[in-house]
Amino acid sequence: MTRVGIMTPGLNRGDAISNDAYGMVETLEQAGFETVLFTFSGESDSPWPTYVYADARWKLDRADDLLIYHYCTVDENALSILRQLKCRMAVKYHNVTPSRFMAPWSDELAFMTRLGRMLLNRLVDLPLDLVIGDSEYNLQEIRRLVGDQPNMSVLPVFNHVEELLTRPGDGATVGYVRQWPTNILSVGRLAPNKGHEDMLEAFGAYLGTCRRRPHLHLVGSHDSRLHAYVAHLKAIIARHDMADAVSFHPIVGQSALGSFYRHCDLFWTGSQHEGFCVPAVEAMAFGLPILSTTAGALAETCGEAAVYADNQDEMADALNLLLDDDERLVELRRRGRQRYETRFHRRHVADRFLEVIDNWINPRNEISSPEAADAGHWFGLPHAVEAVGRAIANHPGLGQGLHARDRRLDLVLWILSKGRQEDNALAAYVGSAELIRFARGLEMPPAAAHFSPAQRLVWTFSRQAQELFSLQNRESVASFSRWYESGRRADRWS
């Protein structure tokens, strides 16, 4: 029986990363795997025995044992132990907030976040068999360090939304919310990267023009080291004279949280750096319309279940338009529920996780460059076999599993983005007149008929883009364009 270890700094139910770790353990146990939990202190609130990091050296002493390490913060002790293990290793990367967000408000947190991102470089020294990101955005960050690996996967965070949905309502919370005709909800700790400053400025501007008197509920705790930041937020509230329109809820139980989701009219996140965003998934599950920025992985998580606004003016305008458009709100509710059910429901995440584990334990055979022609249909691309053969010759790991359509799509996208940056011949291929003619001939939804050849290629060969954007209306086209431009700025597409 394969033994699988799950290692993370701490485990406390209610924390997103802990919930992800617990979801992995529960899924593995149900599938018949033997699992072992490791935390820094050896303590957790789980029903499973938990061991300290160092115990991994004897609990996972076989070469075919597996360990999944959740990287989310400064954790030099874990990295030291991982270098000593003989088992097969994977890392699940949850992202670390860049220090620039913390620097104006806390020297200590700025140092901790800076160190947390610096220590990512040590992942390069580990013999990793598998790299998992909560999102493609997180995976891109890891790729910059370890390069393209043959076994890299996106796996959404396990969530406990079903438990939240079945919780009984909290009467006090419901009564509190019903004091106002319109209620806007934001969930997440009060931290500079979460964008509360822009939200409050935009909300103040909106209050000056709207006909109603909505209320903004900020649900989330704050670190005592960020007291200056919280004081800054309260100063914005005072300057806009909206103390009666904004309330803070630092400690909220699950029943109260469910009641906020169930009885508010809009979920709003102004986050400037986000590796996934569990509250957005919770909002979708409750059918709560979403207003979001496109920062980090937010567009990837929310897809067409959100309206996007990235600065204070856009946010104020979006509030005006959304809260007066009942039809749009109803449609966003429908899209949110559908996206949760088809992408983030626990059964979907569990199935995807077991697929990742199966591919890790039983890797698909790689093919060589000469065999590329037999790998399957290459979607009508001109000179595809030559381009694919060159990519595989330079990176043999890219030849893994190409008999599967999704893997062939991923390889074509790699050629269009990363490959052309590394290889002059692939760059010439991507810029060739033949490929441009092919791109212009691709069938696109009518709303996207104006797309450039590069945009057409990215949407056609990016599985992520096809999942996120239907391109059936102007809103979807605009959302894709923002996503595409963010990729250009990150040097993924051009």
What tokens does 79 get? 């990295």
Q: Tell me, what amino acid is at 342?
A: T
- Residue 321: phi and psi, rounded to 5, are -70, -45
Domains identified in the chain and CATH numbers: 3-158 (3.40.50.2000), 162-345 (3.40.50.2000), 363-489 (no CATH)
Q: Are 335 and 328 in contact (CB under 8 A)?
A: no
The DSSP output letter for 51 is E
- Residue 246: phi and psi, rounded to 5, are -135, 135
Question: How far, in Å, CA of 405 to CA of 412, rounded?
Answer: 11
Q: Are 196 and 161 in contact (CB under 8 A)?
A: no
- Please report the DSSP string for 469-486 in residue order: ----SHHHHHHHHHHHHH
* pTM across the whole model: 0.81
Q: How high is the pLDDT of residue 239? A: 96
Q: Tell me, what amino acid is at 311?
A: N
What torsion do the CA atoms of 447, 453, 456, 460 make, to the nearest 10 degrees?
A: 160
Question: How far, in Å, CA of 70 to CA of 410, rounded?
Answer: 25
How close are the terminal C-alpha atoms of the chain, in Å? 46
Cβ atoms within 10 Å, residue 272: 20
- Residue 71: phi and psi, rounded to 5, are -95, 120
Cα distances (angstroms) measured from residue 306 to each of 189, 303, 382: 21, 7, 37
Question: In terms of C-beta density within 10 A (0-12 exposed, 13-18 middle, 19 or more buried), how is residue 432 classed?
Answer: middle
Q: Tell me which long-range contacts 23-28 makes (C-beta under 8 A, separation of at least 24).
A: 23/157, 23/158, 23/159, 23/160, 23/346, 23/349, 23/350, 23/353, 24/68, 24/158, 24/353, 27/158, 27/350, 27/353, 27/354, 28/4, 28/357
Say which residue the tokens 């051009």 belong to.
Answer: 494
Cα distances (angstroms) measured from residue 305 to each of 134, 270, 316, 332: 19, 15, 19, 5
- Please report the DSSP string for 223-282 in residue order: -GGGHHHHHHHHHHHHHTT-TTTEEEE-S--HHHHHHHHHH-SEEEE--SS-S--HHHHH
Mean pLDDT per 10-residue section of the chain, whose length is 494 residues: 88 85 94 92 85 93 92 88 91 92 94 88 82 90 72 90 92 94 95 96 93 92 93 96 95 93 97 95 97 92 92 94 92 94 93 89 74 78 88 82 79 88 87 88 87 91 84 86 82 71
Question: How far, in Å, CA of 242 to CA of 264, rounded?
Answer: 19
Question: How far, in Å, CA of 320 to CA of 210, rounded?
Answer: 7
The DSSP output letter for 366 is B
What tokens does 53 get? 């990091």
Say which residue the tokens 């009467």 belong to.
Answer: 171
Q: Are 364 and 401 in contact (CB under 8 A)?
A: yes
Q: Are 139 and 232 in contact (CB under 8 A)?
A: no
What tokens does 290 get? 């979403």
Q: Tell me, what amino acid is at 469?
A: F
From the list 250, 59, 281, 52, the residue with the least C-alpha distance to 157 is 281
Contacts of residue 478, defined as CB under 8 A and 6 or more positions apart, other chains included, come to none
Question: How far, in Å, CA of 135 to CA of 297, rounded?
Answer: 6
From the list 103, 99, 130, the residue with the least C-alpha distance to 117 is 99
Cα distances (angstroms) measured from residue 425 to each of 169, 378, 433, 438: 61, 19, 14, 18
The C-alpha angle 449, 452, 453, rounded to 5 degrees, equals 105
Q: Tell me, what amino acid is at 430?
A: V
Cα distances (angstroms) measured from residue 29 to each of 17, 24, 26, 352, 354: 19, 9, 5, 15, 11
Q: How high is the pLDDT of residue 364? A: 65
